[in-house]
C-alpha cells in the first residue's frame, strides 16, 4: 500500500530545501560565487541535482509510489516518439525564451546573466561537461521533482486537480530560481507552467525532460556560445 502522506512530506521537504538554497545562492551571487571556479560550480550543480533526483526516486520506491505516477514507464509511445515530442515542445519554448531575453532591458536579467556566465565554460571539455552532464542532470532532477512528483504523483495519490498542482508547482519552480533575480523567477515560473501543461497532457516525464534540455542548451548556445 502506498504511503502517500509520507511521500507528500518528503517532496514538500525537498522542495523547501531547494527553494531555501536558491535564496541563499541569490544572496551569495555577487560575493561567494565570484571566488568559485566555473568548473567547481558546474560540478556542484550536477551533484546537488543528482542528489535531489535520488531522494525523490528513493522516497517513491520506499513508500510504494507507482513509477507511472511519476511519468516513468508510461511513455505515450516508443521512446523515439517521446523524444520527438520533447523536441517539438522545447523548440518553441526555447525560441520564446531567446526572444524575450533579447527584448527585455539587460538590467532586468542581470542576475540570470551573471549566473549563466559563471556556469559557461571556456574549454571544449567544459562544454562537454555542461551539455552532457550538468544540463541533463538539472533537467532530470527538476522535472522529476516539480512535474513528476509535485504534479503527477500527487494527482494520483490525492483528490486534487493536476491543473491546480501544475500552478502551485510552477510557483515553487519559479521560487527555486531565486538566484536568477526577480525576472528570472517570473520567467522560470512561466516556463514551469508550460512544461507542466506538457506533462499533464502527455503523462510522460521524458517529454518534459527533453524539452527542458532543449531550452537550457539553446539558452547557453545563444548567450554564451558561438551562436
Cell triple for 90: 522545447
* Average pLDDT of adjacent 10-residue blocks, the chain of 227 residues: 95 96 70 68 92 97 96 69 93 89 65 80 90 96 98 97 98 92 89 97 95 95 74
Grid-cell match 526572444, residue found = 99
**Geometric angle at alpha carbon 25, from 21 and 27, rounded to 5°:** 120
Q: How far apart are CA 15 and CA 104, in angstroms?
A: 29
Contact status, residue 15 vs residue 172, Cβ threshold 8 Å: yes
pLDDT tens string 51-101 = 999 999 999 999 999 999 999 975 555 578 899 999 999 999 999 888 877
Amino acid at each position: 500500500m502506498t504511503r502517500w502522506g509520507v511521500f507528500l512530506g518528503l517532496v514538500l521537504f525537498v522542495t523547501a530545501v531547494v527553494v531555501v538554497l536558491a535564496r541563499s545562492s541569490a544572496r551569495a551571487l555577487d560575493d561567494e560565487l565570484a571566488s568559485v571556479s566555473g568548473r567547481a560550480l558546474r560540478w556542484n550543480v550536477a551533484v546537488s541535482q543528482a542528489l535531489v533526483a535520488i531522494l525523490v526516486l528513493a522516497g517513491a520506491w520506499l513508500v510504494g509510489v507507482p513509477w507511472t505516477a511519476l511519468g516513468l514507464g508510461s511513455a505515450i509511445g516508443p521512446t523515439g516518439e517521446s523524444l520527438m515530442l520533447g523536441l517539438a515542445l522545447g523548440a518553441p519554448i526555447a525560441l520564446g525564451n531567446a526572444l524575450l531575453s533579447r527584448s527585455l532591458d539587460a538590467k532586468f536579467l542581470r542576475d540570470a546573466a551573471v549566473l549563466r556566465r559563471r556556469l559557461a565554460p571556456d574549454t571544449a571539455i567544459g562544454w562537454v561537461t555542461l551539455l552532457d552532464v550538468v544540463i541533463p542532470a538539472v533537467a532530470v532532477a527538476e522535472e522529476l521533482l516539480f512535474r513528476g512528483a509535485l504534479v503527477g504523483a500527487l494527482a494520483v495519490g490525492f483528490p486534487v486537480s493536476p491543473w491546480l498542482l501544475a500552478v502551485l508547482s510552477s510557483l515553487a519552480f519559479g521560487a527555486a530560481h531565486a538566484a536568477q533575480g526577480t525576472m528570472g523567477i517570473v520567467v522560470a515560473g512561466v516556463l514551469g507552467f508550460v512544461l507542466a501543461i506538457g506533462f499533464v497532457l502527455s503523462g510522460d516525464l521524458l517529454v518534459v525532460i527533453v524539452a527542458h534540455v532543449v531550452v537550457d542548451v539553446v539558452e547557453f548556445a545563444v548567450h554564451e556560445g558561438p551562436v
